[in-house]
Amino acid sequence: MKTLNELLAESAALHRHLCPRQVLGVQMGRLAAELLSLDLPQTDKRLLTIVETDGCFTSGLSVATNCWVGRRTLRVEDYGKIAATFVDTKTGQAIRIAPSPSARRQAEAFAPEARNRWEAMLLGYQRMALTDLFTWRTVALTTPIAALISRAGYRTECDLCGEEIINEREVMIGDLTLCRHCAYGGYYRLCEEKGSDASLHERWILQTTG
């Protein structure tokens, strides 16, 4: 594994500065390597990481693990938490890591020269033992690893919108093959025809309630 300073420098280069959350991401990746006995940053796709927020924390974690959205080794489940689950896809072992509730307070003791709380976290997180900085637990995924990763090259089309669906993310409702937006609704609607892209579920409610 690269040194802590090397990893922090790489993360800082992505943001043009270094912040406490990047340090947490890097340190969390280093702890995952230790707990799962993996050589990180990885050169293959053995480790799958599921992060619970986006932003600079994720950059630090990606640098330390070499898990990225673009490589399909990083997934974001936005719970608004500085936490992540690391999955060894070879063994199936999964460990969820989060900062210790007392990490912010403890950081001040490791950075007496800090001029403010932000700087205390920036420096303290680099100096604290990983066992003091984080808590972790073994977890079981609710979706099988094979379903998360899916099959390379698989594709189909949505019977309603006609758009292509990859990575086995289609939904079967009766005889229809649907994308998740057409099946359940999603984060957008078509502005030019308000309501025209209502989900199948919404249409069913309208039909059955009159």
Q: Find all residues with CB under 8 Å of 103, minimum gap 6, and list them.
A: 125, 128, 132, 133, 134
| Number of domains present in the structure of the chain | 2
Q: Which of 146, 94, 145, 104 is nearest to 125 (CA)?
A: 104
Q: Give CA angle at 11 (4, 33), nearest 5°.
A: 45
Residues 173, 97 share a domain: no
Q: Using 50, 70 and 90 to split pLDDT, how confident is the model at 208? A: very low
Segments forming the whole domain that contains residue 89: 4-147
CB 18 within 8 A of CB 11: yes
Last residue of a domain, one of 147, 163, 182: 147
Considering the chain, what percentage of its residues have pLDDT values greater than 90? 86
Q: What is the pLDDT of residues 56-89, one digit of tens each?
A: 999 999 999 999 999 999 999 999 999 999 999 9
Residues 129, 66 share a domain: yes
Last residue of a domain, one of 95, 124, 147: 147
Residues 136, 44 share a domain: yes
Q: What is the pLDDT of residues 182-193, one digit of tens each?
A: 999 999 988 865
Residues 165, 100 share a domain: no
CB 120 within 8 A of CB 128: no
Does 99 score more than 70 pLDDT?
yes
Residues 181, 139 share a domain: no
Q: What is the pLDDT of residues 152-164, one digit of tens each?
A: 889 999 999 999 9
